[in-house]
Amino acid sequence: MNTKLLYIKEDLSNLDELEPIARAMDKGQVVCFPTETVYGLGARYDLDEAVKEIFRVKGRPQDNPLILHESSVERMAAYYKDWDKVAETLTAAFCPGPFTLIMEKADDLKTVASAGLNTIGLRIPDHPVAHALIKYLGRAIAAPSANISGRPSPTNGSDAYEDLAGKVPYIVVADPSRVGLESTIVSWVGGKLELLRPGGISAKQIGDALIKAGIDPLDLGFKVFSMEDYEKESKPRAPGMKYRHYAPRANVHIIKGDNLEDKLSYIKEHIDQGSIGLKPGFYISIELNKRLSDNPWPVLTFEDTADHHAGSHYLFTAFRELDREACSDIWVENLDFNGLGQAYMNRLEKAACKTLRDPSQGPHL
Ligand code: TXA
Ligand code: MG
Interval 135-192: pLDDT, tens? 999 999 999 999 999 899 999 999 999 999 999 999 999 999 999 999 999 999 999 9
The answer to whether residue 241 scores a pLDDT higher than 70 is no
For the residues 231-252, what does the mean pLDDT come to? 66
**Structural domain spans, the chain:** 4-173, 184-232, 251-359
Is the CB of residue 22 below 6 angstroms from any atom belonging to ligand 1?
Answer: no
Residue nearest to atom 13 of ligand 1 (CA): 144
* Model confidence band, residue 360 (pLDDT cutoffs 50, 70, 90): very low
What is the value of pTM for the model shown?
A: 0.93
Query: Which segment of 193-197, 229-233, 344-348 scores lowest on mean pLDDT?
Result: 229-233
Specify the pLDDT at position 237: 57
- Tell me, in angstroms, the distance from the centre of ligand 2 to residue 278's CA: 29
Which residue has the least CA distance to atom 19 on ligand 1? 240
Architecture of the domain spanning 251-359: 3-Layer(aba) Sandwich (3.40)
Please give the average per-residue pLDDT across 270-287, as a whole number: 97
Is residue 157 in contact with ligand 1, taking CB distance under 6 Å? no
Residue 227 confidence (pLDDT):
58
Window from 90-99, 144-153, 227-236, 242-251 with minimum mean pLDDT:
227-236
Q: Is CATH 3.90.870.10 what the domain over 4-173 is classified as, yes or no?
A: yes
Percent of the chain topping pLDDT 70: 92
What is the reported pLDDT for 232?
60
Q: Are 125 and 340 contacting, i.e. CB atoms less than 8 angstroms apart?
A: no
Give me the pLDDT at residue 229, please: 64
pLDDT tens by residue, 68-84: 999 999 999 999 999 99
The pLDDT value recorded for residue 365 is: 42
User: 356 C-alpha vs ligand 2 centroid, how far in Å?
Assistant: 17
pLDDT band at 361 (very low <50, low <70, confident <90, very high): very low
pLDDT at site 246: 77
Q: Please determine, for residue 344, whether its predicted confidence score (pLDDT) is greater than 60.
A: yes
Per-residue pLDDT at 230: 59
| Predicted local distance difference test score (pLDDT) of residue 223 | 82
Ligand (nearest to CA of 121): 1
Which pLDDT score, from 0 to 100, does residue 294 have? 84
Distance, CA 265 to ligand 2 centroid (Å)?
A: 34
State the pLDDT at residue 359: 42
